[in-house]
A = this chain, B = another copy of it.
Amino acid sequence: MVVWASMNIKEVAARARLSTATVSRTINQSGLVRPGTAEKVKRAIRDLGYIPNTQARALVSGRSQMFGLIISDIVNPFFPELVKSFEFAAIHRGYEVIVANTDYNSERMGGCVRRMIERKVDGVAIMTSELDRHLLAELSHRQLPIVFLDVGKLKPLISNINVDYSNGIREAVQHIVSLGHQRVGFISGPLTLKSARTRRSAFLKCIGACGFSEGQRSVVEGNHKIDGGDSAMTALLSLPKPPTAVLTSNDLTAIGALRAITRVGLRVPEDVSVIGFDDIELSQFTQPPLTTIRLSRDELGRRAFDALFEMVAGQRRAGQEIKVSTCLVLRESTAAVKKTP
């Protein structure tokens, strides 16, 4: 196999003694090429180690076969799994993925969007929960298919993945109730984030619906990280009547809570029950393994890709509402409330 830098369709055509058009048609399986001819082309391609130039293809076809994926922070364990499943789905359809982190910073979002447009992606999945209206207009004017997570109204070319928090939370609260808990705490994420606010209100609504009064529940703000969960839990434990069960806005927060609880000499689940949210891989390996509400990132990634793909493939121009459900995963961080000492 001989290869040099400027390997292109002409070289292949020359070697096969055919025109570039025929080579192109063979590559794209248009079905208009005689089998014998196609064979010549394939041999030339193999001999030369030719790989088509996607840039040029994109230029003429108007589609880059790339999707953008905007997330908050790849270091947050919530996202890698999502990225992976999105990418997996993409590769299988011949798409490439460009990942961009906003670092929870809405100013960086502008840069991300610009990069996406520059690279002429065929669609963007925005898996952060914040979005500037101005940027939305920017994307929208350019006719770019978009899929959001938990925000945004439906419009043509704009889909939305709607997480149904209620099911998982209801199961969790019912679980807590069935274990006899009377005082429940909730550690939210940073309330500057819309996703954190959404989770918080879903939690509160469910807790209210399950018959807990104002006095039976206490809410503290964390930061969706371990240290925030730790200090928030410490605050909860120092209340005059601390909760015997605590729900958290994500698993890292729950892990921090576990740490705070054991540090003051209490035990999980004997003294305090803890329930996480997300079911990141790590939550199987905490001490004790974490009971948590699963939100499948795998499903999220797949659905986000599919939504974009349907829009670019033209199967549907209208945006669609996609439901993703949550459910309780029972492990060992919850137990019946202790008899009053």
Give residues in A with beta carbon < 8 Å to B: 1, 3-5, 7, 49, 51-56, 58-59, 64, 73-75, 77, 79-81, 83-84, 87, 91, 96-99, 101, 111, 114-115, 117-120, 138, 141-143, 226-227, 255-256, 259, 262, 281-282, 284-285, 287
Q: How far is the CA of A117 from the CA of B81 in the complex (A)?
A: 26
- Once A55-B55, A285-B256, A287-B262 are accepted as A-B contacts, the answer to whether A115 and B141 lie under 8 Å apart by CB is no
Report whether B87 and A80 are in contact in the complex, using a CB–CB cutoff of 8 Å: no
Which residues of B sit under 8 angstroms from A81, Cβ to Cβ?
75
Report whether A55 and B51 are in contact in the complex, using a CB–CB cutoff of 8 Å: no
Partner of A120, one of B53, B143, B282: B53
Partner of A49, one of B73, B74, B118, B138: B138
Partner of A51, one of B53, B91, B114: B114
Report whether A80 and B75 are in contact in the complex, using a CB–CB cutoff of 8 Å: yes
- Once A96-B98, A120-B54 are accepted as A-B contacts, the answer to whether A287 and B287 lie under 8 Å apart by CB is yes
Q: How far is the CA of A75 from the CA of B120 in the complex (A)?
A: 28
Q: How far is the CA of A55 from the CA of B57 in the complex (A)?
A: 9
Q: What are 9 A-B interface contacts by the 8 Å CB criterion?
A: A4-B143, A54-B119, A55-B59, A74-B83, A75-B281, A96-B115, A97-B99, A256-B285, A259-B287
Q: How far is the CA of A98 from the CA of B53 in the complex (A)?
A: 16
Report whether B74 and A141 are in contact in the complex, using a CB–CB cutoff of 8 Å: no
Which residues of B sit under 8 angstroms from A53, Cβ to Cβ?
59, 118, 120
Q: How far is the CA of A83 from the CA of B71 in the complex (A)?
A: 13
Which residues of B sit under 8 angstroms from A111, Cβ to Cβ?
91
Report whether A141 and B55 are in contact in the complex, using a CB–CB cutoff of 8 Å: no
Q: How far is the CB of A224 from chain B (nearest CB, A)?
A: 13
Report whether A54 and B118 are in contact in the complex, using a CB–CB cutoff of 8 Å: yes
Q: How far is the CA of A118 from the CA of B95 in the complex (A)?
A: 11
The 10 closest A-B pairs by CB, nearest first: A3-B141, A226-B285, A74-B80, A55-B58, A75-B80, A54-B118, A51-B117, A55-B55, A55-B59, A5-B143
Which residues of B sit under 8 angstroms from A287, Cβ to Cβ?
259, 262, 287
- Once A54-B118, A54-B120, A115-B96 are accepted as A-B contacts, the answer to whether A259 and B285 lie under 8 Å apart by CB is yes
Q: How far is the CB of A305 from chain B (nearest CB, A)?
A: 15
Q: How far is the CB of A95 from chain B (nearest CB, A)?
A: 10
Which residues of B sit under 8 angstroms from A1, Cβ to Cβ?
141
Which residues of B sit under 8 angstroms from A5, Cβ to Cβ?
142-143
Nearest opposing residue in chain B for A7, CB measure? B142
